[in-house]
C-alpha cells in the first residue's frame, strides 16, 4: 500500500507541474520552476523504479546531471532576456525583432 502512495505522489507531482506550465504562461521564471517540478517528479519515479527492481542508481546521477544542465540553461536564457528586454514577460518579447 505504501509503495502505491509513492507512485501516486510522483504522478501528482508531474501532473501539477504540467498544469502549472500550461496555465501560467506570462513569466519565464514560473515556467522554468514548473519544468523543474516536472523533472523532480520524473526523478522520483526513476528512484522508485530502481528501488523496486533493486538495481544500481548510477543512471539517476546521469539524469540529475542533465536536469541541472537544463536548469542552468534556462536560467541563462532568463538572465539574457532580462538584460535585453528589462523583464521576463512573454508579451514584451517578440520573436521577429533582431
Per the CB < 8 A criterion, the answer to whether 48 and 7 are in contact is yes
CA distance linking residue 58 with residue 77, whole number of Å: 29
pLDDT of amino acid 25: 76
pLDDT of amino acid 27: 85
End-to-end CA distance of the chain: 56
Helix/strand/coil for 98 = coil
Residue-range domains of the chain with CATH: 2-85 (1.10.287.3510)
pLDDT of amino acid 97: 57
Distances (CA, A) of 22 to 30, 50, 70: 11, 30, 19
Q: For every one of its 98 residues, what pLDDT tens digit does the chain have, with 9 covering 90 and above?
A: 777 898 999 999 999 999 999 987 788 888 999 999 999 999 999 999 999 999 998 999 999 999 999 999 999 988 988 888 788 887 666 655 54
Amino acid at each position: 500500500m505504501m509503495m502505491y502512495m509513492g507512485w501516486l505522489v510522483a504522478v501528482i507531482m508531474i501532473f501539477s507541474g504540467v498544469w502549472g506550465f500550461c496555465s501560467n504562461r506570462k513569466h519565464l521564471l514560473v515556467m522554468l520552476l514548473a519544468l523543474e517540478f516536472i523533472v523532480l517528479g520524473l526523478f522520483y519515479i526513476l528512484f522508485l523504479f530502481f528501488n523496486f527492481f533493486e538495481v544500481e542508481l548510477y543512471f539517476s546521477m546521469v539524469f540529475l546531471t542533465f536536469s541541472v544542465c537544463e536548469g542552468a540553461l534556462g536560467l541563462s536564457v532568463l538572465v539574457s532576456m532580462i538584460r535585453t528586454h528589462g523583464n521576463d514577460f512573454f508579451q514584451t518579447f517578440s520573436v521577429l525583432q533582431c
